[in-house]
Chains A and B, each alone.
Chain A
Amino acid sequence: MEVNSWVLWQFDVLILLMVLVCAVVALQLRDLVASAISFGAYSFFMCLLWTLMLAVDVAFTEAAVGAGVSTVLFLGTALHIRRRAKD
């Protein structure tokens, strides 16, 4: 049962690149709701990365807490206040 074989390093690099892209996009968007959604995508890619790195318990906690609860918290705050950010 070789889960972590050499075949998977391309997936690893691809997901790391997607994580970096989502982080930069979440910080650069002016619309706070779009920023919150992009941060949810970032958390989901982090969850995929941790599944690849054999940390399944961290992965499902991140999927529930990171991609789920914190996206809802960000969306709630962003919809409650002024949506546009200056930077």
Chain B
Amino acid sequence: MADFIQALLGHYNNWAFILLLMIGFYAMIAKNNLIKKVIGMSIFQTAIILFYVSMAVKKNSTIPILDHGHGAVEHAIDVAAYASPLPHVLMLTAIVVGVATLGVALAIIQKIHRTYDTIEEDEIMEIIAQ
């Protein structure tokens, strides 16, 4: 039982990932305001980035930057001493793509506001149905 509780509490990053993912998903589905939906989408993205960066963490390791750069390292590098940099660079791309998505979404929201004079989903649906 103690092992089970330890296993549940020990992976608190994964619990935060699940909660953030569900918060963002709820906002994308259930919120009425379009900007709230976009904020939910951003929370969803950062939750997935949190999951990937969590996979790169190692115990008793340091940041993935070599002390001696540019050919000064002649011996093999101790990989276990550094956090894995591969998920970091993947998520770096994801952050930049995310802010591009955000910019396009907000531009579309401004266009919707100019056309329908509202950004509430139900009011837009009423205007479209007329």
Contact = CB atoms under 8 A, between A and B. Distances in A.
Q: Do A and B come from one complex?
A: yes
Interface of A: 1-5, 12-13, 16, 19-20, 23-24, 26-27, 32, 35, 39, 42-43, 46, 49-50, 53-58, 61-62, 65-66, 69-70, 73-74, 76-78, 80-82, 85-87
Given A50-B53, A65-B99, A87-B31, A70 B58 contact: no
Interface of B is mostly: helix
Contacts of A65: 95-96, 99
Contacts of A3: 61-63
Nearest to B27: A27
Contacts of B27: 27
Given A3-B63, A81-B109, A81-B110, A74 B12 contact: no
A86 B120 contact: yes
Interface size class on chain B is 35 or more
B105 to A, nearest CB: 9
Contact of B35 (A12, A13, A32): A32
Interface in B50-65: 50, 53-54, 56-65
Interface in B18-44: 19-20, 23-24, 27, 31-33, 35-36, 39-40, 42-43
